[in-house]
């Protein structure tokens, strides 16, 4: 029987214990730009994976695509192949009024508002970031002078249904086709704001849940690429401050590996 994983095709020896994950396959090249002895071990569907070294530390970087289902597939296969520490580098929408576009949002935990994590474990099970990863990310953000905040992340499904466009006088309107937007979706956004949620994205919740279930450590750092609710789609800038986000995550990972 083949020892290759069924989706990525990766085999034992392909994946380092220290793994970065991101949504966009193109971001893998940016994460690995300064690495040595790097080799591509996967390019299948939304999954691009590169393994190499930086400053003598073995590292891998992998894309997981958009949303919890594809992220769970990647996490399962990477953990089976030996990943022990996973840091997600991503984009997010800022919910807390204090965050600004370009800030770095470091997740301390997640509201699990996705269907995939509920398929694994009861909703009451917490999605908690590893405290050593959180500490390393906070320290390295301070070391490079990056503006960063810690807090709880709303990790959700359905980008268009869960998001909204901000209208006049605090009103919200749908981003979905023909204005589809049941009333409970508007209430959900306002509830998250009342709960002092820092930011929202679509993958950290399942990653932190699986890390807890499978006994590894994981964390997430995201650029605040837009405001949620949106003032308008033209505000989103997925590249804004991503170089700094990658730098902070890399420094944190190397720090953790050496410790």
* pLDDT tens per residue across span 65-108: 999 999 999 999 999 999 999 999 999 999 999 999 999 999 99
Measured CA to CA, the distance from residue 89 to residue 11 in angstroms comes to 24
Domain range for 205 is: 89-258
pTM: 0.96
Q: How many domains does the chain have?
A: 1
Q: Give the pLDDT band (50/70/90) at residue 232.
A: low
The sign of the torsion formed by the CA atoms of 248, 254, 256, 259 equals negative
Contacts of 12 (CB under 8 A, 6+ apart): 3, 81, 82
CATH of the domain at 170: 3.40.50.1580
The β-bridge partners of 148 are 104
What is residue 14's predicted lDDT score, i.e. its pLDDT?
A: 98
What is residue 197's predicted lDDT score, i.e. its pLDDT?
A: 97
Run of H or E residues at 94: strand 85-94
In-domain check, residue 175: yes
């Amino acid at each position: 029987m083949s020892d290759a994983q069924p989706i990525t095709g990766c085999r034992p020896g392909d994946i380092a214990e220290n793994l970065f994950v991101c949504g966009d396959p193109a971001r893998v090249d940016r994460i690995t730009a300064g690495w040595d002895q790097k080799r591509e071990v996967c390019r299948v569907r939304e999954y691009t994976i590169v393994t190499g070294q930086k400053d003598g530390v073995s590292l891998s970087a992998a894309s997981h695509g958009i949303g919890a289902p594809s992220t769970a597939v990647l996490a399962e296969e990477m953990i089976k192949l030996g990943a022990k520490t996973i840091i997600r580098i991503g984009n997010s929408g800022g919910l807390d009024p204090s965050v600004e576009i370009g800030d770095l949002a470091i997740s301390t935990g997640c509201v699990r508002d996705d269907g995939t994590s509920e398929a694994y474990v009861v909703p009451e099970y917490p999605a908690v970031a590893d405290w050593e990863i959180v500490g390393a990310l906070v320290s390295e953000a301070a070391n490079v002078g990056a503006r960063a905040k810690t807090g709880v992340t709303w990790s959700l499904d359905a980008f268009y249904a869960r998001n909204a466009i901000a209208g006049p006088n605090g009103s919200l309107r749908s981003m979905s086709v023909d204005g589809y937007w049941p009333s409970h979706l508007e209430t959900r956004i306002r509830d998250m704001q009342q709960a002092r949620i820092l930011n929202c994205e679509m993958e950290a919740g399942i990653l932190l849940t699986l890390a807890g279930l499978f006994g590894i450590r994981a964390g997430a750092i995201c650029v605040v690429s837009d405001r949620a609710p949106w003032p308008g789609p033209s505000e989103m800038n997925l590249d804004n401050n991503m170089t700094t986000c990658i730098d902070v995550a890399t420094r944190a990972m190397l720090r953790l590996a050496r410790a």
